[in-house]
A and B are shown apart, each in its own frame.
Chain A
Amino acid sequence: MLEIKCPYCGKRSQNEFSYGGDATIKRPQLGEEISTEDWDNFVYYRDNPRGKHSELWHHVSGCRQWFKVSRDTATHEIFDTCKMNEDFNV
């Protein structure tokens, strides 16, 4: 079980959180003309890197904030966590 540092609450056990996928995905603007291919890339396609991955987690059994986690998908090492409006330090 991972230990994740919520930027609002501090270190907590993984079972307080839910995973929210790739944090680098940007939703297309509302009303934007967009090709089916670009839309499909947004909805369905995700990179599946081995190594460093920037991802979203939700402190669902805690402060209910979404935040960013930089995690190694192979070793589970967590390099950094930050609020949505912040950038990782490492």
Chain B
Amino acid sequence: MSNSFRTTNSTGLINKDKKINFTFNGTIYHGYEGDTLASALIANGVHLVGRSFKYHRPRGFLGVGVEEPNAMVQLHDGNKSEPNIIATEVELVEGLKAKSQNCWPSVQFDIGEINNVLNRFFPAGFYYKTFMWPKSFWMKIYEPFIRKAAGMGKAPLLPDPDRYEHNYEHCDVLVVGSGPSGLASALAAAKNGARVILAEDKPNFGGSLLTDEVTIGNMSGKEWASDTISQLKSMPNVILKKRSQVFGYYDHNMTVMIERVSDHIENPSKYTPRQRLHYIRAGEVIVSTGSIERPISFGNNDRPGIVLASAAKEYMKVYETLVGKKPIIFTNNDTAYSTALEFIKNDIEPIIVDTRDSSNGELVKEVQQKGISIKFNSGIADTKGHLKINSAIIGKLDSSKESFISEETVECDCICMSGGWTPTVHLSSQAGNKLKFNDDIDAFVPDKKRQKETAIGAANGSFTLNQSLAEGFQVGFDLSNKFTDQNNPTNSPNSNEPSYEKHEKLWCMPLPSGKKPKRFIDFQNDVAVSDVELAIREGFRSIEHVKRYTTLGMAGDQGKTSNLNGLQYVSKIEKKIVPEVGHTTFRPPYTPVTIGAIVGREVGNHYLPTRKSPIHTWHEENNAVFVAAGLWQRPRYYPRGSEDMNTAVNREAANVRKNVGICDVTTLGKIDIKGPDAPEFLNRVYTNAWLKLPVGKARYGVMLREDGMVFDDGTTSRLSENHFHMTTTTAQAANVLSHLEYYLQVVWPDLDVNVLSTTEQWSGIAVAGPKSRDLLSKLFPDVDMSNEGLPFMGLVDSSIDGIKARIYRISFSGELAYEVNVESNYGLYIWKKIMEEGQSFDIQPYGTEALSTLRIEMGHVAGAELDGRTIPFDVGLNSMVSQKKDFIGKRSLSKDAFTESDRQTIVGLVPLDKKTKIPEGSHIIEDNSAVAPIPKLGHVSSSCWSVEYNNPFSIAIIKDGKNKIGKNLYAVSPLKDISIPVEVVSSHYVDPEGSRVRS
């Protein structure tokens, strides 16, 4: 079979001079440039493309564009594989590989089709009813089975190799859809000087003008479209985007559009993105999204070869392809007659079945003049043909149109059906527009808008060309006038199209006599008329409930072809008018969007920004293993030779206790605080007193949230009378700044204080250990480093090789220690300088693991203890809380729950065997042999290997901690299935008097 369903004319948009080869289910076919996968398959006579979601019924193409519910395929192989792609939206490209999904072993012979034979066991709500019991079966048996049998394509397991980009755009007027009304409004708005973006989903602009036989001015519709596009292209204030679907309408006129950039290009260049996601903030949005043809429900209306009449016409006119050679046109309105005429043009005589008693429409007359007889007052009752339709049973309707009087079997190879037209209101509805029901067209149209959105043309229910153009030019001008003062309207040209008679309100055929074939409403979700009947019989009244019970209108399809037919049927059963039944919510995305496009370039290293200290390169050169601390990359430890982490960490920590260590603390948050009220402000922010801190001194401070929980801690120094330098933890740096700004700007604006982050202006280097004084004395010979000259919590300014340095005598390790701060750009130089001078003192760098070991041994609290659930008393910070003054969160500390004597408080833990390290997060319990539920006394917050005592040590927060010291308890980790007998000790395990830091 080689394109045997191509027409001989060449009035379409494909290029028959350029062949394109592609593979479908392993067979090689060819199509032409301009084809979609769908049109190329149909041209090759392939209609069977997949199996349906639930019953595994053979399915073919229903539509020609985004409305296609059936023809979903798996594209490409390996890491490029992509499931659930609508074949009608895939442009043919050389070497394209596609295959059917949801079938095994093949689409022709699918084992899952047994579901269809057993369909009476699979009604709506089947899963809810059947798989409820026994409860234990759900996870192990039912769920895996259903997942395998139902569902669609397979997601690839490999990383996506393609590039996706994001773009942010602003414009005055965004026009969505380039049919007659869209083109008219874009032209009018652009000519009036507005900045316009025109978005079209398809590869060609023009919408219905590409398929309808109309004239505008003295041109054909198609020529007018092309002329208008050339005009727009020449205007600098217009952006034209094809292959671009506006799929979501969010708040404040933010729309999101996906552009297919390179899928249709054979060998795109390396950095061409596959898709681009555009965030468009538009002043006004014109929704000219047109309308979608409605199917009709009749027996076995889902067989391959049964298509929408408009789709059949577009395949002929745009793709020069016949959906069949023995067509039946089945309609309740006039528009399908244009499809009949297109067949006649190709020398094919269709059989026409019309539910109406008669019609005097121009197209109907034209068909009759060509000698074609029309079966009025008739409908299709049932169809035959397993993998492809081969005949239809046409019935004569009785006067009530509730049953057939007589039935005849007619051979055919396709049915082109039309149930009239549904305006595409998805975007308006997403924008918050309250839709109203229009009785004339039996469909919902936009009504009361919530955002700056205006529907025009068919999307607004205006189905004639004259109306569409008039609305387009008027609305385009009116809306653009909000943004420009040119006041330059464009007149609507005259247009000419056939007249249409009214459609019949009939979308569901009676059953054929003696049979009950399925009459589908929602093809994608396999929802038939009988499912809707069942849902209502079982008491589901709200349309939202019917939707969820039957799955009508859900998933990727969002009910594009099924919503209204479903509503219409519910209204018929319930004997309510459609507006009373209401409609379900239209949700974004209008069409499926790849996860890759949503993620954009935020993948791999671009997932988050990376912050590096100025000393980072030295750490890299010296074998540091890094750890993420928020966005920062910090050295975790510096292994030597074949050292494992524990050995390296113990060596680094022990060297601090014995000699001297150096640690990069640049990541600590730093905030410059200035102003006459700065001392008063700190006094309110911190729990301890700050008014009397002398200039040139640092002080440790703890700040709370208003609820009394510890928020952050750090040292803050007074540089001059009204100038302070605050440090915060690495993790809370940004939050502390926001917190300070909040109190200064919102709560106490009368305080004259300014705060500014200086985290990135300073590089901080901790030098810790008994030999640190000697080392610093050598580096800064001008500074008196003695205990009197620079006492604990003192600070001094000095310089080294002409570089200004500030030396703080502060300690996190519990040893005699200093922190040298220099301007960031000199951080690396000073670090190297200290390392160089430090060699004779046996200096070693230490990372965050050793840093933790040193602070845990000392019982210094950090993030693991300050976890937002502890007040100062819980973590041994009692002495930090001033009784004399008020401060943020103080009132909370006197609440009943916070003053209970047996609150969980901080303690130390040592395993009785002095060997087993206690996992962080372990629970502390009293009785190891107790039966669950065992009362939990608390948890282990931090663990380390004590280099001072050479055994494991942990900090825990346990109930009535102080009174548990000396007792033996158990640390249990159900995750690791271990239970460790421990002794409770003081959290200040090393140097509890704090003599070293003051030595």
Do A44 and B252 touch across chains, with their CB atoms under 8 A apart? no
Contacts of A13 in B (CB 8 A): 281
Contacts of A30 in B (CB 8 A): 684, 886-887
Q: What number of residue pairs across chains A and B have CB atoms under 8 A from each other?
A: 56
Do B891 and A39 touch across chains, with their CB atoms under 8 A apart? yes
Contacts of B684 in A (CB 8 A): 30
Do B254 and A27 touch across chains, with their CB atoms under 8 A apart? no
Contacts of B250 in A (CB 8 A): 1
Interface string of A9-30 (1 = CB under 8 A from B): 0000100001010000001101
Contacts of B886 in A (CB 8 A): 30-31
Contacts of B254 in A (CB 8 A): 1, 3
A residues 22-74 in Cβ contact with B at 8 Å: 27-28, 30-31, 34, 36, 39, 42-44, 56, 58, 60, 64-66
CB closest residue in chain A, given B250: A1
Do A42 and B706 touch across chains, with their CB atoms under 8 A apart? yes
Do A84 and B738 touch across chains, with their CB atoms under 8 A apart? no
Contacts of B432 in A (CB 8 A): 75
Do A76 and B251 touch across chains, with their CB atoms under 8 A apart? yes
The interface-forming segment of B125-133, B352-360, B742-750 is B742-750
Known: A30-B684, A60-B738. A1 touches B252 (CB 8 A): yes
B residues 719-767 in Cβ contact with A at 8 Å: 737-738, 741-742, 745-747, 749
Do B251 and A20 touch across chains, with their CB atoms under 8 A apart? no
Contacts of A84 in B (CB 8 A): 745-746, 749
Contacts of A56 in B (CB 8 A): 746
For residue B21, CB closer than 8 A to chain A, the reply is: no
Do A3 and B281 touch across chains, with their CB atoms under 8 A apart? yes
Bound-state CA distance A30–B253 (Å) is 44
Contacts of A89 in B (CB 8 A): none
Contacts of B252 in A (CB 8 A): 1-3, 76, 78
For residue B926, CB closer than 8 A to chain A, the reply is: no
Interface string of B231-270 (1 = CB under 8 A from A): 0000000000000000000111110000000000000000
Do A85 and B738 touch across chains, with their CB atoms under 8 A apart? no
Known: A1-B250, A42-B706, A84-B749. A66 touches B892 (CB 8 A): no
For residue B895, CB closer than 8 A to chain A, the reply is: yes
Bound-state CA distance A44–B897 (Å) is 15
- Report the minimum CB–CB distance from B684 to chain A (whole Å): 7
Do A39 and B746 touch across chains, with their CB atoms under 8 A apart? no
Do A66 and B746 touch across chains, with their CB atoms under 8 A apart? yes
Bound-state CA distance A61–B432 (Å) is 29
When the two chains form the complex, which single residue of B450, B737, B738, B746 contacts A75, counting CB atoms closer than 8 Å? Answer: B450
Name, among B281, B749, B891, B892, the residue most crowded by chain A CB atoms within 10 Å (CB to CB): B891
Known: A75-B450, A76-B252. A43 touches B745 (CB 8 A): no
Bound-state CA distance A30–B743 (Å) is 12
Bound-state CA distance A24–B745 (Å) is 14
Interface string of A76-88 (1 = CB under 8 A from B): 1010000011000
Contacts of A58 in B (CB 8 A): 738, 741-742
For residue B707, CB closer than 8 A to chain A, the reply is: yes
Do B738 and A18 touch across chains, with their CB atoms under 8 A apart? yes
CB closest residue in chain A, given B894: A36
Contacts of A85 in B (CB 8 A): 749
CB closest residue in chain B, given A66: B745
Contacts of A18 in B (CB 8 A): 738
Contacts of B896 in A (CB 8 A): 36
CB closest residue in chain A, given B432: A75
- Report the minimum CB–CB distance from B170 to chain A (whole Å): 10
Bound-state CA distance A64–B707 (Å) is 24
Contacts of B281 in A (CB 8 A): 3, 13
Contacts of B253 in A (CB 8 A): 3
Do A28 and B745 touch across chains, with their CB atoms under 8 A apart? no
A/B interface sample: 10 pairs, CB < 8 A? A3-B254, A20-B742, A36-B896, A39-B892, A43-B707, A58-B742, A65-B745, A66-B741, A76-B252, A78-B252
Which 5 A-B residue pairings sit nearest by Cβ, starting from the closest?
Answer: A3-B252, A30-B886, A66-B745, A76-B251, A31-B886
Interface residues of A (CB under 8 A from B): 1-3, 13, 18, 20, 27-28, 30-31, 34, 36, 39, 42-44, 56, 58, 60, 64-66, 75-76, 78, 84-85
A30-B886, A31-B886 known; 10 new pairs, CB 8 Å cut-off, are A1-B250, A3-B253, A20-B742, A28-B891, A39-B891, A42-B706, A44-B707, A60-B738, A64-B741, A66-B745
